[in-house]
Structure 1
């Protein structure tokens, strides 16, 4: 079923009104000019699309937390957010034409959420954008032991100005759950602890789909007690945490 994310209702409503007024003004001058706003209106609604995704049933995997293009794969000697253990980071660049809804890469509990104000450097500048841009960093851990397993980092880009994360600290997530979005072009990072023995299955330049495409296979399991959904049940939290405007 085709759907739109509820996080874009305001933008779609305001944008439709503004574009309708522009079309009226342009059409008053010369009616064919009114057609010029149609591609913009189509793009606006397409940006906030939120397609259903087939979540893999395999165990010992992590799926992509975002739609986009894999921009970099980096080995990390010591990741403080994961207890100082070695890790691997997969960076994903989201253009303004990608779906911008973020998803949980695995089953796990939200251990911490850290929002940081910062710059709006082009997200294609991987290192600078990761270190200096406004971001929201989420640490996920095993629901049974609380041991950190992964980090999802939502990073704004040159155009993006708002980060939304819908879960709260202590919430349990299922792999593929919707967890928020970044509005208008951005970068999402997935950092995986090396003790899970991850084997990255994607390459730089590869296009991935959030929640559907596997980015890493794990040699060790993630211990979890996350409840499985009933048919048709929606697990996206109703409450919404947003970045300051």
Structure 2
């Protein structure tokens, strides 16, 4: 599949290239060559692979992974983490080696986007879910007269210190649409109602826009 580079890469790569440039200007060629790995790695971090979801519609009963990574939790909503109400929760940890472009897990209209500044605990720690910088996105979709809601949360971690959310209330999304990214290691929480049968468990790997997290019963 083709791979593009997200526009957020270029300012970060330019800063990352400064040490290599300074080393080259002072005649330290070997050092410059070694330091050149930093901007290359930064550009690779912002890779945005094209996936089948970009051209293939998805059934209304499927909830797909919004991020590449590893499932840390799949089950009842955790106290202090899940929004008020009756929710199931899937938490996905993204290492610095995972693709960090985020996609919407479900179709619908964005009814709310709430950004909260916060701390930078390691994203795999429990407290990161409610103390770290994050952005909550709420979707609403009506299928056969039934209104379905999904909430998903971008959370930055110890290394990742910026959430980039590119949707706003009123936007209409299709399952798998790109909605933003999280920089340099982070976490994504997805909250679905009890009517969704979960299809993943802790320890599973996910691919954004491909892995089925659950199905509406």
TM normalised by structure 1 equals 0.78
Supply the distance in 1 between the matched residues of 2:146 and 2:46 (Cα, whole angstroms).
34
Structure 2 counterpart of 1:7: 8
Supply the distance in 1 between the matched residues of 2:131 and 2:82 (Cα, whole angstroms).
17
Which 4+ residue blocks in structure 1 deviate beyond 6 angstroms? Answer: 77-80
Indicate conservation of the 8 Å contact 2:20/2:36, yes or no: no
Supply the distance in 1 between the matched residues of 2:36 and 2:214 (Cα, whole angstroms).
40
Question: Structure 1 regions of 5+ residues with no counterpart?
Answer: 220-245
Shift of 1:39: 3.0
Aligned mate of 1:213, from 202, 211, 214? 211
Supply the distance in 1 between the matched residues of 2:198 and 2:82 (Cα, whole angstroms).
21
Supply the distance in 2 between the matched residues of 1:46 and 1:77 (Cα, whole angstroms).
34
Shift of 1:97: 1.1
Residues 1-245 of structure 1 mapped to structure 2, 5 A cutoff: 1-16=2-17, 18-24=18-24, 28-29=27-28, 31-55=29-53, 57-59=57-59, 60-76=61-77, 81=83, 84=85, 86-125=86-125, 127-142=126-141, 147-194=147-194, 197-219=195-217
Supply the distance in 2 between the matched residues of 1:205 and 1:153 (Cα, whole angstroms).
19
Shift of 1:95: 0.9
Supply the distance in 2 between the matched residues of 1:37 and 1:205 (Cα, whole angstroms).
35
More displaced 10-residue stretch of structure 1: 56-65 or 169-178: 56-65
Shift of 1:217: 1.7
TM normalised by structure 2 equals 0.87
Cα deviations across residues 214-244 of structure 1 (Å, max 9, x unaligned)?
Answer: 111221xxxxxxxxxxxxxxxxxxxxxxxxx
What is the Cα-based RMSD across aligned positions, in Å? 2.4
Supply the distance in 1 between the matched residues of 2:181 and 2:146 (Cα, whole angstroms).
25
Shift of 1:46: 0.9
Alignment coverage as a number of residue pairs? 211
Cα deviations across residues 1-49 of structure 1 (Å, max 9, x unaligned)?
Answer: 2201123232123333x143144157x24x3333312432331111000
Supply the distance in 1 between the matched residues of 2:197 and 2:82 (Cα, whole angstroms).
21
Indicate conservation of the 8 Å contact 1:139/1:148, yes or no: no
Supply the distance in 1 between the matched residues of 2:187 and 2:36 (Cα, whole angstroms).
28
Supply the distance in 1 between the matched residues of 2:16 and 2:88 (Cα, whole angstroms).
40
Write 1 or 2 for the structure with the bigger share of strand.
2
Indicate conservation of the 8 Å contact 1:117/1:133, yes or no: yes
